[in-house]
């Protein structure tokens, strides 16, 4: 019933949201600059913040029209290299297509769309032939498409790496790190020619027993039945995925906000002040971030529950018990793929040491082909976005790709 209650509430509030947007537009019509009465300015500013705080369930655009290449701007177009009911393998094709390393960027299947990695893509695109897993909103996937669990997630990674072909590279951002490691291990044991030359795992939960965070404690504090009962709902009838069991994106967003509530409140207070002061740059940066942050997607219920149980509760991967379709996953089978792990000093979602654990599990990779980078002064999102990502972390990622290409 949780999804139906949310939808009913959203439907009831729809007229109120329309009224707020109308009132905001009217207040802007009455804005006379310095001559506007201060109470009206405050009211207009408040209405603008409320109007922009609504959740959306549609995937935003990447909006990357061009990138700098060889001293000039080169146009970029998006094309589907492969597609399943649950994901599109999206390629960012440059107008001038020099020979560059092929890279699969595996985005989290979380409460946000792959466009959350827009900054990651923008930084990497000039140097690489870049593909990304563009996961679809589960509420738009019909029941006839079948189930999508942890094994199916691994299937997709293997399939997409085979589309890229031999000699490619793979990068996992956050949640998919364990699945990417499993996929590469399975490909290595099978002698799959498409196994990647390098694998970069960024702030991902390989072994959540190490320095457990609030997220990890929550996963261990309740049974999997509790998660299913409290967090899994059925998609309402009006959507293409009607009756599919999902972990709603609005619940995950609420959990993320509650973890850092003070930070989000402060951000909106700063936005209020910036609007009053006419600080256009700050206003636009805030708007862009929260437009993306409030765009939520639903996860297939079986994928969420299996991830919680196998990765966060039972610790199947570090304990050597993780299986895929009845086959044991053996990270020590990886020999040809180089490995880089990246962690953030202030990451409160995936703590220091949790991703680093992959280096020990992949004992078949020579020491000379394994590296770790601990980035100081960044939290979780700073590992793959922002100035430190582009100036300090990305050069390490690019180097790993270059020396193994």
Q: Write out pLDDT tens, residues 355-404.
A: 999 999 999 999 999 999 999 999 999 999 999 999 999 999 999 999 99
Mark residue 98 as left, alpha or beta (left: phi above 0; alpha: psi -120 to 50; beta: remaining).
beta
pLDDT tens digits, 161-190: 999 999 999 999 999 999 999 999 999 999
Q: In whole angstroms, give the CA distance from residue 203 to residue 145.
A: 31
Report yes or no: 245 and 302 within 8 Å, Cβ to Cβ.
yes
293 or 210, higher pLDDT: 210
141 pLDDT more than 90: yes
283 pLDDT more than 80: no
Mean pLDDT computed over 218-227: 94
pLDDT confidence band for 220 (50 / 70 / 90)? very high
197 pLDDT more than 70: yes
Report yes or no: 83 and 89 within 8 Å, Cβ to Cβ.
yes
Instruction: Determine how β-strand 323-324 pairs with β-strand 299-300.
Output: unpaired
Q: How far is CA 116 from CA 52, 108, 163, 269, 384, in A?
A: 18, 9, 24, 23, 10
pLDDT at residue 32 in the model: 45
107 pLDDT more than 60: yes
pLDDT confidence band for 15 (50 / 70 / 90)? low
Q: Secondary structure of 144-195 in the HEC alphabet?
A: HHCCCCHHHHHHHHHHHHHHHCCCCEEEEECCCHHHHHHHHHHHHHHCCCCC
pLDDT tens digits, 45-56: 544 555 555 677
pLDDT confidence band for 58 (50 / 70 / 90)? confident
Q: In whole angstroms, give the CA distance from residue 236 to residue 7.
A: 8
Mean pLDDT computed over 146-165: 98
pLDDT at residue 3 in the model: 79
Q: What is the dihedral of CA 330, 331, 332, 334, to 10 degrees?
A: 110
20 pLDDT more than 50: no
pLDDT at residue 13 in the model: 47
pTM more than 0.85: yes
For the ranges 231-235, 236-240, 265-269, 307-311, the lowest mean pLDDT is seen at 265-269
């Amino acid at each position: 019933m949780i999804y139906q209650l949310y939808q009913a509430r959203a439907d009831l509030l729809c007229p109120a949201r329309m009224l707020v947007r109308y009132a905001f537009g009217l207040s802007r019509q009455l804005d006379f600059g310095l001559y506007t009465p201060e109470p009206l300015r405050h009211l207009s500013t408040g209405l603008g913040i409320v109007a922009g705080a609504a959740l959306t369930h549609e995937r935003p655009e990447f909006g990357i029209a061009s990138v700098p290449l060889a001293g000039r701007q080169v146009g970029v177009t998006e094309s589907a290299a492969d597609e399943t009911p649950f994901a599109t393998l999206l390629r960012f094709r440059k107008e001038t297509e020099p020979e560059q390393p092929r890279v699969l960027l595996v985005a989290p299947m979380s409460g946000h769309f792959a466009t959350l990695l827009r900054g990651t893509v923008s930084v990497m695109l000039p140097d690489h032939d870049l593909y990304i897993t563009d996961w679809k909103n589960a509420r738009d996937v019909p029941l006839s498409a079948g189930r999508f669990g942890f094994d199916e997630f691994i299937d997709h990674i293997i399939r997409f790496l085979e589309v890229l072909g031999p000699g490619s590279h793979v990068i996992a951002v956050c949640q998919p790190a364990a699945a990417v490691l499993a996929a590469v291990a399975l490909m290595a044991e099978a002698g799959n020619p498409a196994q990647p030359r390098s694998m970069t795992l960024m702030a991902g939960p390989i072994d959540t027993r190490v320095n457990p965070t609030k997220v990890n404690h929550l996963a261990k504090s309740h049974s999997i039945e509790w998660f299913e009962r409290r967090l899994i709902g059925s998609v309402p009838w009006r959507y293409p995925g009607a009756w599919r069991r999902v972990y709603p994106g609005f619940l995950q967003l609420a959990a993320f906000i509650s973890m850092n509530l003070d930070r989000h409140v402060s951000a909106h207070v700063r936005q209020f002040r910036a609007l009053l002061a006419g600080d256009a740059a700050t206003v636009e940066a805030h708007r862009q971030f929260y437009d993306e942050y409030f765009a939520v997607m639903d996860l297939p219920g079986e994928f969420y529950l299996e991830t919680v149980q196998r990765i966060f509760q039972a610790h199947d991967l570090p304990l050597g018990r993780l299986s895929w379709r009845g086959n044991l996953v053996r990270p020590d089978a990886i020999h040809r793929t180089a490995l880089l792990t990246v962690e953030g000093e202030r990451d409160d979602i995936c703590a220091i040491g949790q991703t680093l654990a992959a280096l020990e599990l992949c004992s078949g990779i020579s020491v000379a082909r394994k590296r770790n980078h601990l980035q100081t002064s960044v939290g979780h999102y700073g590992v793959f976005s922002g100035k430190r990502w582009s100036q300090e972390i990305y050069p390490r990622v690019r180097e790993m790709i270059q020396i193994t290409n």
